């Protein structure tokens, strides 16, 4: 079996790897590191959680050991789709670069430009950035990319989903064509393939798992529910979520599905907040994380989940890709993802590094087309599981019918008692005409003679018109 010592890595890098506790490279690492050390372009295709970060970090540190950085001209560039993933790459670099004199800078949103500019001005060997913030620095004249020797694109398919492909193409054109390119992705969409054909030169392709496959260490469960009313769907799903959590937390230690912590994925940011608030209201240790929260808040939340002080992380897909959060026992798809590829990345947060994990997906009838797309993508049917929650039982229609009839009859009797006697028979024609309402106010005692029509009280101006008509006729 291949070991890290067989990969011609720098002795200082091997010592740092040993300090982290790793001894054997993963398949993507064993396949990507040798050609990367030779200076060749690499196209790595592997599902999330297979160790792709070390696949480019370790050879990068080894190759950059010789040389010196210049101000505003980084020697290598790592592009990541999200702030969290970029920060994770920076953390990995710090762990593996111990003992070396390499410098790094992290360019992400939510941090002041001034601090980042100061780091760039001193000169950095490794620049780790999100595409938008990198271009911001470049357009402000604070950064030059003409000295880039190694360029890494991590989670390229996520870049595509987030609309970063035009930015990626522009950054490629700003770097020297002699650079080495390490390109990693979990899936190979047609647009990703077009970019690799355009910017990579005879790359070494390493594909360690079937595209769009899920890990065998993950137990997948589909929980179906048909709400009685559409407006009760969200509330019912929250009941189901809590019921599954309570059931799996109560299992004995050592069981494969014992719940210790969980990431709960929602499709919309507003639902992330609602689900997190509902869990906290019912006594669960939960916090939300999504793109609308400031960077410091997001990092505190992630750190709390990593160190175990936070048990439930309610997230949007900002946390679905590439984040290395160890020992996640459960993943919940509170919403079925609308993009089938997101399902693979979501459940990939558990069952990492050979450990067992469980992924639940809560589905309603409206999710049928999304489920079909997911099962078509992974080429497998998601096993169905038991729904541990059902709506509170109601009385049967047979029992409820007599009570309803009695209530209806009671209302009819009440209306009959309060109805005036003279109003009961509106169809009679032989009754005397009702007395006219007195004129002059309710207190008038003598209403005067009864008037029917005009009677004898015809105004004189009307009589004049008749007299003129009679004269013309005569």
28, 46 in Cβ contact below 8 A?
yes
Q: Mind giving me the DSSP string for 156-200?
A: HHHHHHTT-HHHHHHHHHHS-TTSEEEEEESS--HHHHHHHHHH-
Other beta carbons less than 10 A from residue 265's beta carbon: 29
Nearest Cα to Cα of residue 71 among 132, 147, 149:
147
- Sequence-distant (≥ 6) Cβ neighbours of residue 188 within 8 angstroms: 45, 157, 211
Dihedral, CA of residue 308, residue 250, residue 287 and residue 50, to nearest 10:
60
Domains in the chain, please, with CATH? 4-207 (3.40.50.300), 218-378 (3.40.50.300)
Dihedral, CA of residue 197, residue 201, residue 202 and residue 203, to nearest 10:
-80
Torsional sign, CA 341, 347, 350, 353: negative
Structure tokens at 466: 């008749």
Torsional sign, CA 372, 345, 327, 289: negative
CB-based burial label for 229 (10 Å; 0-12, 13-18, 19+): exposed
Q: What is the full per-residue pLDDT of the chain (474 aa) written as tens digits?
A: 478 989 999 999 999 999 888 888 989 999 999 999 999 999 999 876 678 899 999 999 999 998 888 899 999 999 999 888 898 899 999 999 988 889 999 999 878 889 899 999 999 999 999 999 999 999 999 999 999 999 999 989 888 878 899 999 999 999 999 999 999 987 788 899 999 999 999 999 998 866 567 778 899 999 999 999 999 999 999 999 999 999 999 988 766 679 999 999 999 999 999 999 999 999 999 999 987 888 788 889 988 998 999 999 999 887 656 567 878 999 999 999 998 888 988 898 898 767 889 999 999 999 999 999 999 988 899 999 999 998 887 544 444 444 455 555 555 555 555 555 444 444 444 455 555 555 544 455 555 556 555 556 666 666 666 666 666 766
């Amino acid at each position: 079996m291949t070991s890290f010592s067989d990969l011609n890595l720098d002795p200082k890098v091997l010592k740092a790897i040993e300090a982290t506790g790793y001894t054997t490279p993963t398949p993507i690492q064993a396949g990507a590191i040798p050609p990367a050390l030779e200076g060749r372009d690499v196209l790595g295709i592997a599902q999330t959680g297979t160790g792709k970060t070390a696949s480019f970090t370790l050879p990068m540190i080894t190759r950059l050991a010789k040389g010196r950085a210049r101000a505003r001209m980084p020697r290598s560039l790592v592009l990541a789709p999200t702030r969290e993933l970029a920060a994770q790459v920076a953390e990995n670099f710090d762990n593996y670069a111990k003992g070396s004199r390499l410098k790094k800078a992290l360019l992400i949103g939510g941090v002041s430009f001034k601090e980042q500019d100061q780091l760039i001005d001193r000169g950095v060997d490794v620049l780790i950035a999100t595409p938008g913030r990198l271009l911001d620095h470049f357009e402000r004249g604070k950064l030059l990319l003409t000295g880039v020797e190694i360029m890494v694109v991590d989670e390229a398919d996520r870049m595509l989903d987030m609309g970063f492909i035009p930015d990626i193409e522009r950054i490629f054109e700003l770097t020297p064509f002699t650079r080495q390119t390490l390109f990693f992705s979990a899936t190979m969409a047609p647009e990703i393939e077009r970019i690799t054909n355009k910017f990579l030169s005879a790359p070494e392709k390493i594909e360690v798992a079937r595209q769009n496959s899920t890990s065998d260490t993950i137990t997948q469960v589909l929980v179906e529910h048909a709400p009685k009313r559409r407006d009760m769907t969200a509330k019912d799903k929250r009941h189901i979520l809590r019921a599954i959590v309570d059931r799996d937390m109560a299992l004995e230690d050592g069981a494969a599905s014992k719940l210790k912590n969980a990431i709960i994925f929602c499709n919309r940011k507003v639902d992330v907040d609602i689900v997190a608030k509902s869990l906290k209201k019912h006594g669960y240790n939960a916090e939300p994380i999504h793109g609308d929260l400031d960077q410091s808040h997001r990092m505190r939340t992630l750190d709390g989940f990593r160190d175990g002080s936070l048990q439930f992380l309610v997230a949007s897909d900002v946390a679905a890709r590439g984040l290395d959060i160890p020992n996640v026992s459960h993943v919940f798809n509170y919403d079925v993802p609308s993009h089938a590829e997101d399902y693979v990345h979501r459940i990939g947060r558990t069952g990492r590094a050979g450990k067992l994990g469980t992924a639940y997906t809560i589905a309603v009838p409206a999710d049928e087309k999304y489920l079909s797309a997911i099962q078509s993508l992974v080429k497998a049917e998601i096993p169905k599981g038991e729904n541990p929650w059902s709506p509170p039982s109601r009385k049967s229609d047979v029992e409820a019918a007599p009570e309803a009839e009695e209530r209806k009859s009671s209302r009819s009797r009440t209306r009959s008692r309060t109805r005036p006697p003279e109003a009961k028979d509106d169809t009679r024609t032989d009754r005397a005409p009702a007395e006219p309402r007195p004129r002059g106010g309710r207190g008038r005692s003598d209403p005067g003679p009864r008037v029917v029509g005009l009677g004898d009280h015809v105004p004189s101006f009307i009589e004049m018109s008749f007299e003129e008509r009679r004269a013309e006729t005569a």
